[in-house]
Chain A
Amino acid sequence: MPAPYAIMAEFDTPAAVLQAAGKVREHGYHQWDVFTPFPIHGMDSAMGMKNSKVGWFSFIGGCTGYTTGMLMIWFMNAVNYPVVIGGKPMFSPLPAFPPSYELTILFGAFGALLGMLFLNRLPRLHNPLLKNARFALATRDRFFVVIESSDPKYSEQETRRLLESIGSQHIEMVEE
Chain B
Amino acid sequence: MDDHASIKVQAPPVQLERVPLVGNQRGLGWLTDRIAGVIEGETPAWWKMCFAISLTMMTVCFVMILYLMSTGVGVWGLQHPVMWGYAIINFVWWIGIGHAGTLISAILFLLRQKWRTSINRAAEAMTIFAVMCAGIFPLIHIGRIWLGWWLFPIPNSNGIWPQFRSPLMWDVFAVSTYFTVSVLFWYMGLIPDLAVMRDRAKTKIRKIGYGLFALGWTGSNRHWSNYEKAYLILAGLSTPLVLSVHSIVSLDFAVSQLPGWHTTIFPPYFVAGAVYSGFGMVLTLLIPLRRMLKLEDIITVRHVELMCKVTLGVGSIVGYAYAMEFFIAWYSGNPYERFLFLRNRAADPFIIGPMFHVAPAPYWWAFWTMVICNVVVPQFFWFKKVRTSMLTVFALSILVNVGMWFERFVIVITSLHRDFLPSNWGFYAPTWVDILQYLGTFGLFFTFFLLFIRYIPLIAIAEVKGVTPQADPHHPLGGAKVGGQH
Contacts and interface: CB of A to CB of B under 8 A. Distances in A.
Interface in B172-227: 173-174, 177, 180-181, 184-185, 187-188, 192, 195-196, 198-200, 215-227
A163 interface: no
Contacts of A27: none
Contact of A139 (B167, B195, B234, B237): B195
Most buried by A among B164, B169, B216, B224: B164
Given A101-B240, A137-B199, 13 more contacts: A15-B473, A15-B479, A43-B221, A47-B222, A52-B228, A55-B233, A77-B164, A81-B159, A92-B165, A98-B167, A119-B226, A122-B217, A123-B215
A37 B465 CA distance: 8
B60 to A, nearest CB: 33
Given A44-B225, A113-B234, A141 B29 contact: yes
Contact of B230 (A42, A103, A115): A115
B161 interface: yes
B463 interface: yes
B478 interface: yes
Interface string A1-29: 00000000000111110110100000000
23 contacts: A13-B470, A15-B473, A19-B1, A33-B222, A34-B220, A37-B28, A39-B228, A54-B230, A80-B161, A85-B163, A101-B240, A105-B177, A109-B238, A113-B184, A113-B230, A116-B229, A120-B220, A122-B216, A135-B218, A139-B32, A139-B198, A139-B219, A140-B199
Contacts of B29: 140-141
A136 interface: yes
Most buried by B among A13, A42, A49, A126: A13
Contacts of A34: 220-221
Contact of B479 (A14, A103, A135): A14
Contacts of B241: 102, 105
A72 B188 contact: no
A40 B471 contact: yes
A74 B181 CA distance: 25
Interface string A111-140: 011011101101111110110000111111
Contacts of B228: 39, 52
Nearest to A11: B479
B244 interface: yes
Interface residues of B, number: 70
Interface in B99-133: none
Contacts of A88: 165
Given A18-B473, A49-B222, A58-B237, A77 B161 contact: yes
A130 B218 contact: yes
The 10 closest A-B pairs by CB, nearest first: A13-B479, A15-B479, A124-B216, A116-B230, A141-B28, A76-B161, A123-B215, A52-B229, A136-B199, A98-B170
B474 interface: yes
B226 A52 contact: yes
A35 B32 CA distance: 16
B468 to A, nearest CB: 9
Contacts of A136: 199-200
Interface of B: 1, 27-29, 32, 153, 155, 159-165, 167, 169-170, 173-174, 177, 180-181, 184-185, 187-188, 192, 195-196, 198-200, 215-230, 233-234, 237-238, 240-241, 244, 248, 251, 462-463, 465-466, 470-474, 478-481
Contacts of A77: 161, 163-165
Interface in A43-71: 43-44, 47, 49, 51-55, 58, 62
B98 to A, nearest CB: 15
Most buried by B among A86, A96, A116: A116
A140 B196 contact: yes
Nearest to A83: B163
Contacts of B1: 19
B466 A120 contact: no
A95 B168 CA distance: 11
Nearest to B154: A76
Nearest to A76: B161
A103 B241 CA distance: 10
B310 to A, nearest CB: 24
Contacts of A35: 218-221
A81 B160 contact: yes
Given A58-B237, A85-B163, A140-B199, A110 B184 contact: yes
Given A98-B174, A112-B234, A122-B216, A139 B27 contact: no
A36 B221 contact: yes
Most buried by A among B181, B198, B470: B181
A147 interface: no
Contacts of A122: 215-217, 223
Contact of A39 (B155, B196, B221, B251): B221
A40 B184 CA distance: 24
B219 A101 contact: no
Given A77-B165, A99-B173, A102-B174, A36 B225 contact: no
Contacts of B196: 37, 139-140
B224 A39 contact: yes
A40 B473 contact: yes
A108 B237 contact: yes
Given A95-B165, A102-B173, A122-B217, A76 B462 contact: no
Contact of A109 (B32, B181, B221, B478): B181
A44 to B, nearest CB: 5
Nearest to A18: B473
Contacts of B160: 81, 83
A135 B220 CA distance: 12
B224 A109 contact: no
Contacts of B234: 109, 112-113
A161 interface: no
A4 B174 CA distance: 52
